[in-house]
Chains A and B, each alone.
Chain A
Amino acid sequence: MHPNANLEQLMARYQQGDSAAALALIERLSPPLHRFFLVQAVSRRDAGDLLQETWLRIHQVRHTYRPGEPLLPWLYAIARHIRVDHYRKTRRREMREQQVEVLPEMAAAARGGTEQGPDLEALLGALPESQREVITMLKVAGMSLEEVARATASSVGSVKQKAHRAYQKLRELLRVRADESGA
């Protein structure tokens, strides 16, 4: 049985108006969704707002989920849409205000880490947005390559390539950091 089969059943019950199923989905899926937004170089407050906006949109368009289909590609395609919209709005606002802001990637990279090593947000901040997104979906949300391809409207080959490049870059980054701390 697919590990997310239960999620799909919960979603079908949510469509039927079952409040308990809706609450269970919110509780189960909010942490990885919140992480998805945090990793995309937004502040913790913005991540909370985006999470709320995502659930409101999911609620509005819950009839577009087809029972029996995998839930995560549907859910993350919506979350991705919300994030892109937020990014565009932020860019427009920044351009209007004519402020020179720190680039999002740099802002994310500037965040700290823990004693066990750099945290995920800090580490992934060094990656281009598309690679960051793929790694988050694969590793945080636990999606398959096929599911990530569907959520990002791309091919499995393209997802594999992005993941491969991201791993290479992350390993290189960790090696450099290890060398620096050793020196």
Chain B
Amino acid sequence: MNPEPDKLDQILARAAGAEPVAPELVERISGAVLPGLRPVRPMPSAEAMVAALLLLSVAVGAGAAAILGMQGLAILSGAQALLIFAAIGLSGGLAASQSAAEMVPGSKAMANPIALMLGASLALMGIFAILFGGYAMDAFVPQGVPCLTAGLSVALPAGGGAWLILRRGFAVDRAAAGSALGTLAGLTGVTMLELHCPNLRAIHVMAWHVAVVPLGAAGGALLAWATHSLGAKRNAAELMQ
């Protein structure tokens, strides 16, 4: 028999009646918070934020493809297009939900941002491996670099727009928020590439198209971390003055 369970329960129960805080500390806090207290507009609902992010993603991805030309979509069969865009849509939905959740403290997490980026990348690679053939490496880099550049060029404004939608939020984990947002931006880049790029060689699509997702996520995390560090340094410098 365990001799001490009651004692542990007693100690924990005593702790539940937490000791009062010094009145002068409460006064100091209320003195800092209460003067000039103004009403604030709460953040929109998670659903509204996710819908706005998805709309932006579709608009930027499809808009860029419309400008560059829809040669990719033209050569895809109906089933191929359905499968590819369903996977991108599902991953995008998860990334948008997670991005929105990261900007409100204590939100229910949809998925770990790194798992989300890996899951989306691997799912797309799997689908491309099933749908397409061709693993010849000729012109692998010369054909790939323009696609990667174009994908990232579309991911950048998508990420910027998504940040504008979420800018009123407060991320307790900036790198995670940046990563989720970067994943969504990367998926926007992939959307454009699948609509535009007529190269259906499996190795090309799996490497250069999908690479936009992890690069977007890494870029988002890095940017979020850098802005946070810069902000922290600025705060420290202000305190030193």
Contact = CB atoms under 8 A, between A and B. Distances in A.
A51 B19 contact: no
Interface in B33-49: 33-34, 37-43, 45-46
Contacts of A153: 109, 172-173, 176
A64 B168 contact: yes
B98 to A, nearest CB: 11
Nearest to A21: B37
Contacts of B16: 139-140, 142
A74 B38 contact: no
B104 A74 contact: yes
B3 A175 contact: yes
Contacts of A74: 104-106
B65 interface: no
Interface in B185-230: none
A31 B20 contact: yes
Contacts of B29: 26, 30, 51-52, 55
A51 B21 contact: yes
A73 to B, nearest CB: 3
B139 interface: no
Contact of B26 (A30, A59, A61, A170): A30
Interface in A92-124: 116-120, 123
Contacts, number: 148
Q: How many residues of B sit at the interface, in one of the four size bands?
A: 35 or more
Contact of A140 (B18, B33, B39, B42): B18
B169 interface: yes
A64 B108 CA distance: 14
Interface in B1-58: 2-5, 7-8, 10-16, 18-22, 25-26, 28-30, 32-34, 37-43, 45-46
6 contacts: A17-B38, A17-B39, A22-B30, A35-B19, A48-B22, A52-B29
A62 B104 contact: no
Interface of B: 2-5, 7-8, 10-16, 18-22, 25-26, 28-30, 32-34, 37-43, 45-46, 103-109, 168-170, 172-173, 176
A77 interface: yes
A175 B4 contact: yes
Interface residues of A, number: 61
B133 to A, nearest CB: 39
Nearest to A36: B18
Given A35-B18, A51-B25, A63 B34 contact: no
Contact of A30 (B10, B14, B25, B103): B25
A67 B15 contact: no
Contacts of A73: 105-106
A19 interface: yes
A175 B39 CA distance: 53
Contacts of A30: 21, 25-26, 29
A151 B107 CA distance: 8
Closest CB pairs A-B (n = 8):
A73-B106, A77-B105, A17-B39, A74-B106, A31-B18, A77-B106, A81-B172, A61-B170
